[in-house]
A and B are shown apart, each in its own frame.
Chain A
Amino acid sequence: MKIALFATCIVDAMYPEVAQATVTILRRLGHEIVFPSGQTCCGQMHINSGKFAQAEPVIAAHARAFSDTDWDVAVAPAASCVASLGHQQPMVARRMGNDALAAEAADIAGQTYELSQLLTDVLGITDAAADLGSYFPHRVTYHPSCHGMRLLRLGDRQSDLLRSVEGIDYVDLPLADACCGFGGTFSVKNPEVSSAMLADKIRTVHSTGAEVCTGGDASCLLHMGGGLSRFQRTGSFEGTPDVTAVHVRQTSSTDVGDDNVDHLTAVVGADDDDHLTPGEKGTSPAEPSRIQSGFRVGQSAVHLARILASTKEDPLRVQSEGATVSGGSLR
């Protein structure tokens, strides 16, 4: 199948590795990937800020890019943006009196899938280990994004795929359906409320003892990763009320496993050493502890595409030797 990739603006500019992982997975299944070069953004940032007039040319750019290219289905590693294509683009185009654009946008949206939707509903993938060779021997917790959950009704698609990854130690996130507080410009317009929501989310992530918190939306992960990183660096969210110290959960060293220790002490990606400054940063009570002592730390936000793309031959490695991973993203 010819699959058009909609990278989305955040992934394109901030997390290129997520788009690369998406391409890797789909190529592994034998599909041809095209990247409509005129693409930019779904327009959500402007739409949700009420700037419909400014959103219209962005929507038009998307329609142009995807109409100009030949493809069978389109995919984006971002539930929120896929939801915006279907739920918002046609609405805004109509409100701007541009019915032709509304129809075109609805058409493209009808053929655009979020990654887990494409994998399960269109490509029939139910077992990531068997079908994609996915291998990720780490403790992982998962945050379902609001838009994936409530607008796209993704249900268990993402978590089922994750659970079927070989070696994964999947732990449920308490209060998983609570919003992380990002909300696009909400996090700038009401930063204090947003931070208070984030603080609660980080607390639940920590409580799982997971090394990695994953999800299908780079925007939520940007927010949560930013919070995890800040918290681990400083032990608090400055200016955020009610953040009590998080105690790193202790797990028995046996469930870390020798195999895992290998990966945990390896570094993320060969050329990424310089992002990591082991033992240098952080004076927080939540400062990641030594693997040898059997501690694990919820420390990083990683998009699920990267976990699905990880294999035994080419594993995505989580580093945990007394360091926080830079920027909350395994880069």
Chain B
Amino acid sequence: MTFLGMPLLPSTRRDRPTIPGGQGNIVEDESFAEVSHQHLSNQQLRNNIGHATSTIREKRADVVAELDDWEELREAGSRAKNHVMENLPEYLAEFEANFTAAGGVIHWARDADEANAIVTELAEANAPVLDSGRREVIKVKSMATQEIGLNEHLETQGIDAFETDLAELIVQLGDDKPSHILVPAIHRNRDEIRDIFEEKMPDAGDLTNDPTELAEAARRHLRHKFLTTKVAVSGANFGIADTGSLGVVESEGNGRMCLTLPETLITVMGIEKLLPSFDDLEVFLQLLPRSSTGERMNPYTSFWTGSTPGDGPQNVHLVLLDNGRTRALADEHGRTALNCIRCSACMNVCPVYERTGGHAYGSTYPGPIGAILSPLMTGVEAEENGSLPYASSLCGACYDVCPVKIDIPSILVHLRNEDAEANHSPVSSQLDTALTGASWMMSEGKRMATAESGLPIAHAVTGGEQINSLPGIAGAWTSSRDIPALPEKSFRQLWAEDEARAEEEDDES
């Protein structure tokens, strides 16, 4: 039994840097501001995303409103997850024992490299070499394998991984990256999808942009793979500790085919996905589909427990992945981010995500959850993470909508503090300098009063006019916004003058 260096809880800040961060595709190296700049001017992308998120948003709001105990459900979901995180070593041990007893094999992976090596070895042992000289595996959507860059790794090892989820397929065929955790091709519209299919599916023929026709083309393309491929790689939404079961919820049925048809099934799951028992699903199977697709129930819910002779895959493996999760867990202010059930509700309501799309976050996990999860897992010391916690106006919509009540805005502020303390640039920016000055001024009412006594001069200098353009960082503001004319006096001054006048009047009478 291995516990991947599970830290004692709670940790102190000093311990944290010694806990290894994750690696792989969790983060890329361009800052949010840089990448969002490109995406903001892509009108097609903004239209696609704006349309999709507002549609899902409304659907979700409708089905959530149907339940009068939604808040209690959220509370229950949050409590169950917190409980698992507090007792993760015990639940992992219980799960391992039960999974193994049912005929499965557990592999522990500290990071992306270890996980990729394990899957490669299993695929080499179980997937035959084809005429092309390469091996093939089919995949059902798994964020964990995205995170570790499994497809890219397998490719270098002579193994082709075929995505079977429709949206993942679109992304894969388009040589693209997912931009949403639930709707990975949210940034594509029908015309773009038709073009990708026509180009990349040799047998597809001429297609229109009709969704049914597009789905049918994908179905024909995939059917053959399902029936001939020997090895499947899946993710998992839940691991059930007291039975050792794994579960996947999905909409298209491709998951069920992957989970039942191949001889070997390799699942890659983050260690945080455990639930104590089947009973907990009562809560989560209500929270998840309503939050993610706005459906009362997802079309396919598959659970499997080890292997059964003559039924389904005979060779069942599970890679339990850390890759920075224990690091996040050790962060007492941020650890609830691990409660995330990847429903994507937070990105569908996020005004920043809506305008930049998922790619701007440069992270496998985009949107509000990505802005906290990626830095928590890889460490805010990793400089490329520094911009993610600032990719939010802290409007709070994500917290309101999260089915497991992750207080994303507070964690963002916490991570900004971590970033500020990590002090990446020795030369402080104009904003930092301004904030330092403001802190000094605002630490005493008298200093602020002195500063405000400059208002009449400022008022005179600006001619009592509004300000339309300023240099430096203030220019970022005035690029699209005016600043109102400054008042001649601050309220503090006006108040003091009134008081003095009232006193005089009192004296006179």
A139 to B490 CA separation, bound complex (whole angstroms): 29
Chain B residues whose CB sits within 8 angstroms of the CB of A184 once the complex forms: 394
Interface string of A1-30 (1 = CB under 8 A from B): 000000101011111110110000000000
A14 touching B487, Cβ below 8 Å? yes
Known: A40-B443, A183-B393, A188-B431. A195 touches B480 (CB 8 A): yes
* Residue contact B491 to A242, C-beta cutoff 8 Å: no
Which one of B448, B484, B494 contacts A14 once the chains associate, using CB atoms below 8 Å? B484
B417 with A193: CB separation less than 8 A: no
Q: Is the CB of A186 within 8 A of B476?
A: no
B 425-477 contacts with A by CB, 8 A? 431, 435-436, 438-439, 441-449, 452, 455, 464-466, 468, 473-474, 476-477
User: What are the interface flags for A31-51 relative to B under an 8 Å C-beta threshold, 1 for contact and 0 otherwise?
Assistant: 000011111110101111111
A150 and B468 contact, CB distance less than 8 A: no
Please indicate the chain B residues that have their CB under 8 angstroms from the CB of A171 in the complex: none
Q: Is A230 an interface residue (CB 8 A)?
A: yes
Q: Which residues of A contact B487 (CB under 8 A)?
A: 13-17, 331
In the complex, what residue of chain A is closest to B438 when comparing beta carbons? A45
A20→B479 contact, CB < 8 A: no
For residue A178, give the distance in angstroms from its CB to the closest CB of chain B.
6
Number of interface residues of A (CB under 8 A): 86
Report whether A186 and B400 are in contact in the complex, using a CB–CB cutoff of 8 Å. Answer: no
Query: In the complex, what residues of B have CB within 8 A of residue A37's CB?
Result: 445, 449, 492, 496
| Given A146-B393, A191-B479, A241 contacting B43 (CB threshold 8 A) | yes
User: What are the residues of chain B within 8 A of A190 when measuring CB–CB?
Assistant: 32-33, 36, 352, 390-391
Check B6 for interface membership: any CB of A closer than 8 A.
Answer: no
Beta-carbon contact of B417 and A95 below 8 Å: yes
Within the complex, which residue of B431, B445, B485 is in contact with A275, where a contact is CB–CB below 8 Å? Answer: B485
B396 at the interface (CB under 8 A from A): yes
Q: Is B486 an interface residue (CB 8 A)?
A: yes
Q: Verify if A185 is at the interface (C-beta below 8 Å from B).
A: yes
Report whether B443 and A57 are in contact in the complex, using a CB–CB cutoff of 8 Å: yes
Q: How far is the CA of A227 from the CA of B481 in the complex (A)?
A: 5
Interface of B is mostly: helix
Any chain B CB within 8 A of the CB of A259?
no
* B392 within 8 Å of A (CB atoms): yes
- Whether A230 lies near B482 (C-beta < 8 A) is yes
Q: How large is the interface on B (under 10, 10 to 19, 20 to 34, 35 or more residues)?
A: 35 or more
Q: Does B46 contact A (CB under 8 A)?
A: yes
Taken together as a complex, chains A and B put the C-alpha atoms of A7 and B462 apart, in Å, by 24
Contacts of B439 in A (CB 8 A): 46, 51, 54-55, 57-58
A192 to B36, CA, bound (A): 8
B 143-159 contacts with A by CB, 8 A: none
B residues less than 8 Å from A331 (CB atoms): 484-485, 487
Q: Does A247 sit at the interface, judged by CB under 8 A?
A: no
| B432 CB to nearest A CB, Å | 8
Q: Name B355's closest neighbour in chain A (CB-CB).
A: A196
Cα–Cα, bound, A52→B32 (Å): 23
- In the complex, chain B residues whose CB is within 8 Å of the CB of A198: 480-481
Given A49-B420, A50-B419, A331-B484, A239 and B443 contact (CB-CB distance below 8 Å): no
Residues of B near A41 (CB, < 8 A) are 438, 442, 448
- B397 at the A interface (CB under 8 A): yes
A225 to B467, CA, bound (A): 12
CA distance A177 to B41 in the complex (A): 24
Query: Is B483 an interface residue, CB under 8 A from the partner?
Result: yes
Q: In the complex, A87→B396 CA distance in Å?
A: 13
Q: Which residues of A contact B393 (CB under 8 A)?
A: 146, 179, 181-183, 186-187, 194, 197
In contact, A222 and B390 (Cβ under 8 angstroms): no
Give residues of chain B (331-363) contacting chain A, Cβ–Cβ below 8 Å.
351-352, 355-356
Inter-subunit contact B480/A230 (CB<8 Å): yes
Q: How far is the CB of A275 from chain B (nearest CB, A)?
A: 6
Q: Scan B376-402; emit 1 where CB is below 8 A from any A CB, else 0.
A: 000000000000011111111101100
For A187, A188, A222, A275, the residue with the greatest tally of chain B CB atoms inside 10 Å of its CB is A188
Whether the pair A40, B466 counts as a contact (CB closer than 8 A) is: no
Most A-side CB within 10 Å, residue of B441, B481, B484: B481
Using known A-B contacts A186-B393, A189-B431, determine if residue A49 contacts B484 with beta carbons closer than 8 Å.
Answer: no
* Contact assessment for A238 and B480 in the assembled complex, using a CB-CB cutoff below 8 Å: yes
The answer to whether A229 touches B466, judged by C-beta atoms less than 8 angstroms apart, is yes
Q: Is the CB of A195 within 8 A of B400?
A: no
- In angstroms, Cα B356 to Cα A91, docked, is 31
Report the separation of the CA atoms of residues A223 and B484 in the bound assembly, to the nearest whole angstrom: 10
Asked whether B484 lies within 8 Å of A226 as measured between CB atoms, the reply is yes
Flag whether B495 is at the interface (Cβ < 8 A): yes
Residues in B neighbouring A227, C-beta threshold 8 A? 480-481
Report if A225-B484 is in contact (Cβ < 8 Å); known contacts: A49-B420, A233-B468, A241-B41.
yes
Interface of B toward A, CB cutoff 8 Å? 32-33, 36-37, 40-41, 43, 46, 351-352, 355-356, 389-397, 399-400, 410, 413, 415-421, 431, 435-436, 438-439, 441-449, 452, 455, 464-466, 468, 473-474, 476-477, 479-487, 489-492, 494-496
Q: Which 8 A-B pairs have the closest CB atoms?
A: A327-B484, A183-B393, A50-B416, A226-B481, A38-B445, A54-B439, A179-B395, A16-B491
- Using a CB–CB distance below 8 Å, which chain A residues touch chain B? 7, 9, 11-17, 19-20, 35-41, 43, 45-52, 54-55, 57-58, 60-61, 65, 87-88, 91, 95, 146-147, 149-151, 177-179, 181-199, 222-223, 225-227, 229-230, 233, 237-242, 274-275, 326-329, 331
**Other 13 A-B pairs with CB < 8 A, given A41-B442, A149-B396, A187-B393:** A12-B492, A15-B487, A46-B438, A49-B431, A50-B415, A51-B439, A58-B443, A91-B410, A95-B417, A187-B481, A199-B480, A327-B482, A327-B485
